[in-house]
Chain A
Amino acid sequence: AQSVTQLGSHVSVSEGALVLLRCNYSSSVPPYLFWYVQYPNQGLQLLLKYTSAATLVKGINGFEAEFKKSETSFHLTKPSAHMSDAAEYFCAVSDQGSSNTGKLIFGQGTTLQVKP
């Protein structure tokens, strides 16, 4: 079975500081991995995805993530936080390659707070 663990339910950074949100996955097959962002009272927006091509994936709004198979990790980073980055972030793994339905298994989410 596939699963995702996000380390840290709350992360607080100062504006301009590095953002690092941690995600570890478990999958018996090569995973498809995603980061989604949810702003208050809104749906989930795709930030970036890894689908077995380049291990360093660039997404929207200056975010990127690196797939590390040896560490089963897919951490999300951004060099300089903006106030507008404050939101909840979800890491997810898809079942492409196993049951292949495309359904997503989500982590518990990390709330990012950006302090002025």
Chain B
Amino acid sequence: NAGVTQTPKFRVLKTGQSMTLLCAQDMNHEYMYWYRQDPGMGLRLIHYSVGEGTTAKGEVPDGYNVSRLKKQNFLLGLESAAPSQTSVYFCASSYVRREQYFGPGTRLTVT
């Protein structure tokens, strides 16, 4: 099993450009999440999904959109990137009320 995978691993964007981060899991988990990690702030939840076709906002959702068209995939979109979105993005998945398993992260730089 690959667990949780993220694509791409690194990306550099210019302000105003758009991109999509892909997260895939092969553990048949119902729940999926997107977090961002910034220095000294731990991880903060952007959006999450409790099942195929459902999404909800987390702690810091502004500037991001998500979609969960298939159970195993969770996409994070940036429509118009800003330097404040420079961060490391982690995807995670879990069963209900169980520990979350994280992907390797995507390092995004917006110039």
Pair from one complex: no
